[in-house]
């Protein structure tokens, strides 16, 4: 897992907003400090040097603290694409 940033707040749309130190891939799985799955990256926006990320939460009961660390792991969706490219 790779550190990507910190939690900022929960948006009115129900998505979690975080500040990142890099641009992670859209669709990547996001984990918290305890290595529990939080959700998926839905959107990346803002400045290119420190972009903001929008995360669709896995459950609505997710409890978070501002400035909690976020980690990312490549999703199975990205791995599947690579396998499809190799077959051709």
- Domain of 68, CATH number, reads 2.40.10.230
CA gap 52, 23 in Å, rounded: 9
For residue 60, what pLDDT is reported? 80
Name the β-bridge partners of 41.
Answer: 55
With cut-offs at 50, 70 and 90, classify the pLDDT of residue 62. confident
23, 33, 63, 81, 83 from 3: Cα distances, Å: 11, 10, 19, 23, 26
Give me the number of domains the chain comprises. Answer: 1
pTM for this prediction:
0.77
Would you place residue 86 in the very low, low, confident or very high pLDDT band (cuts 50, 70, 90)? low
Name every residue whose Cβ is closer than 8 Å to that of residue 64 and which is 6 or more positions away in sequence.
7, 10, 16, 32
Q: Over 80: is that where the pLDDT of 85 sits?
A: no
Give the domain range for residue 23. 2-87
What would the pLDDT profile of 9-55 be if each residue is shown by its tens digit?
999 998 999 999 888 899 999 999 999 999 999 999 999 889 999 99
């Amino acid at each position: 897992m790779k550190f990507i940033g910190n939690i900022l707040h929960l948006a009115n749309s129900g998505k979690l907003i975080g500040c990142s130190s890099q641009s992670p891939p859209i669709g990547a799985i996001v984990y918290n400090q305890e290595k529990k799955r939080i959700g998926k990256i839905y959107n990346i926006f803002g400045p290119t040097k420190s972009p903001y990320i929008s995360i669709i939460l896995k459950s609505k009961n997710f409890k978070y603290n501002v400035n909690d660390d976020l980690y990312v792991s490549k999703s199975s969706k990205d791995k599947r694409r690579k396998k499809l490219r190799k077959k051709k």
